[in-house]
């Protein structure tokens, strides 16, 4: 059995598709799985235990070059099954032209009715289950029917070697001239798309709150990419006005794109806690087993029910505004009685959840130290 899975969109979406590979391997021992992915997601797959090959789809290429590469890959791999889960439809076209016998995946846009012969229709906008469960449901025509209680078994995996982790943290300390081993708290205020987010100034106020309670005990790593610029403005302005001198040396702005995703994940693997909104790095932190706080919108298509990290154990806390939101797709704005609902999440509430979540935090210990 040879299977191709097409997921050429965002990093977080790709991570939530990885359980499909595990489920296929579980049900078809000896199966070969190839993922078609965007260039920004490729580093997720190095050393992956359930993905044998990847094909990097470059959307910047001309249509001719993209299709030529896809046709060559499909003919070489000789897939028995293909799944379109998200992203470009060019791979689906290539699967159709090269006559892959089983062509499954999500049936939504009109092209999927042409190219897929084993597709599954889903109303994901209803958010009746988790995104990873929706993805696993696409495997039913192949005879695979994972149950919801198997989510933990099929949770996303990211493999980093000890050498990679050590090299990443060493390079990080050298780059930012860090000469101590303080526990690291990652703050990631940015995100892509139109999902509601906590105010960037509140992320800064949370840093101030932690620093006030635990002076000079933590290194705060504000991670971002160039596209997150707007989310950093309020945070930087708030920290500039703070009275805590320690924050001038204990806050690092870490551009995760500078040395690539692999390096970013290696540094993140050393974090004691990750705090951020519904975005790809939140899912990376979860897959790496980091203690994490996720701040989520109450709007149905953006909800934690669909987009929360897969592993919801003692290391994960999801925070959602305590409001009754009747919106399915987007915020109703000032016509909603709970408008600016994310502002109802108080800094003190997030701090208290942070204290309850991470072992030893009240003593200023790192989570790794408190676990020893």
Distance between CA 77 and CA 242 in Å, rounded?
58
| Structure confidence by residue, pLDDT tens digits, 155-195 | 898 999 999 999 999 999 999 999 888 999 999 999 877 78
High-pLDDT (> 70) share of the chain, %: 95
| Structure confidence by residue, pLDDT tens digits, 270-290 | 999 999 999 999 999 999 999
- Angle formed by the axes of helices 90-97 and 63-77, nearest 10°: 50
How many other C-beta atoms are found inside a 10 Å radius of the C-beta of residue 83?
32
3-state helix, strand, coil in the chain (%, to 5): 45, 15, 40
Question: What's the pTM?
Answer: 0.92
Q: Going by DSSP bridges, is the β-strand pair 273-277/53-57 parallel, antiparallel, or unpaired?
A: unpaired
- Banded model confidence at residue 302, pLDDT cuts 50, 70, 90: very high
Q: Which of 198, 204, 353, 222 is nearest to 281 (CA)?
A: 222
More confident residue, 100 or 363: 100
Is residue 16 classed as helix, strand or coil in its secondary structure? coil
High-pLDDT (> 90) share of the chain, %: 76
Q: Sketch out the chain's domains with CATH numbers.
A: 2-150 (3.40.50.2000), 162-370 (3.40.50.2000)
Mean pLDDT for 342-370 is 77
Q: Environment class of residue 327 by beta-carbon count within 10 Å: exposed (0-12), middle (13-18) or buried (19+)? A: middle
List the Cα angle 333/191/152 in 5-degree steps.
105
Distances (CA, A) of 282 to 130, 236, 309, 322: 15, 21, 7, 21
Report yes or no: 302 and 325 within 8 Å, Cβ to Cβ. Answer: no
pLDDT value of residue 148: 66
Residues in a beta bridge with 104: 83, 118
Q: Which of 60, 56, 360, 367 is nearest to 184 (CA)?
A: 367
Mean pLDDT for 259-279 is 96
For the chain, the average pLDDT equals: 91
Length, in residues, of the chain: 372
More confident residue, 359 or 68: 68
Would you state the structure tokens that stand for residue 51, as one six-digit string? 């993905």
Residue 362, C-beta contacts closer than 8 angstroms, at least 6 positions apart:
355
- Banded model confidence at residue 363, pLDDT cuts 50, 70, 90: low
**Res 333 pLDDT > 90:** no
**Res 367 pLDDT > 60:** no
Report yes or no: 367 and 291 within 8 Å, Cβ to Cβ. Answer: yes
pLDDT value of residue 362: 64
């Amino acid at each position: 059995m040879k299977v191709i899975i097409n997921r050429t969109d965002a990093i977080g979406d790709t991570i939530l598709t990885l359980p499909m590979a595990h489920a296929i391997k579980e049900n078809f021992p000896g199966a070969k799985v190839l993922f078609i992915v965007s260039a920004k997601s490729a580093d997720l797959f190095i050393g992956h235990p359930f993905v044998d090959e990847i094909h990097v789809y470059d959307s910047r290429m001309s249509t001719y070059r993209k299709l030529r590469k896809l046709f060559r890959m499909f003919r070489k791999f000789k897939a028995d099954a293909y799944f379109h889960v998200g992203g470009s439809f060019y791979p689906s076209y290539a699967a159709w032209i090269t006559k892959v016998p089983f062509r499954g995946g999500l049936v939504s846009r009109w092209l999927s009715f042409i190219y897929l012969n084993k597709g599954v229709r889903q109303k994901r906008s209803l958010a009746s289950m988790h995104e990873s469960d929706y993805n696993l449901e696409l495997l039913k025509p192949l005879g695979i029917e994972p149950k919801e209680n198997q989510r933990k078994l099929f949770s996303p995996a990211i493999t980093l070697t000890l050498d990679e982790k050590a090299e990443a943290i060493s390079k990080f300390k050298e780059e930012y001239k860090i000469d101590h081993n303080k526990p690291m708290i990652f703050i990631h205020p940015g995100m892509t798309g139109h999902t509601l987010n906590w105010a960037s100034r509140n992320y800064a106020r949370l840093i101030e709150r932690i620093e006030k309670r635990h002076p000079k005990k933590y290194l705060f790593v504000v991670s971002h990419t160039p596209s997150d610029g707007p989310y950093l403005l309020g945070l930087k302005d708030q920290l500039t006005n703070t009275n805590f001198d320690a924050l001038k040396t204990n806050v690092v702005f870490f551009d995760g794109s500078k040395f690539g995703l692999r390096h970013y994940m290696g540094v993140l693997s050393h974090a004691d806690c990750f705090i951020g909104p519904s975005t790809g790095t939140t899912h990376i932190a979860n897959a790496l087993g980091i203690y994490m706080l996720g701040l989520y919108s109450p709007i149905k298509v953006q909800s934690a029910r669909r987009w929360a990290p897969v592993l919801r154990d003692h290391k994960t806390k999801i925070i959602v505004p305590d409001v009754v939101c009747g919106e399915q797709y987007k915020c109703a704005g000032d016509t909603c009685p709970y408008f600016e609902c994310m502002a109802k999440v108080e800094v003190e509430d997030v701090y208290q959840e942070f204290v309850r979540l991470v072992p030893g935090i009240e003593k200023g210990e790192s989570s790794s130290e408190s676990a020893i």
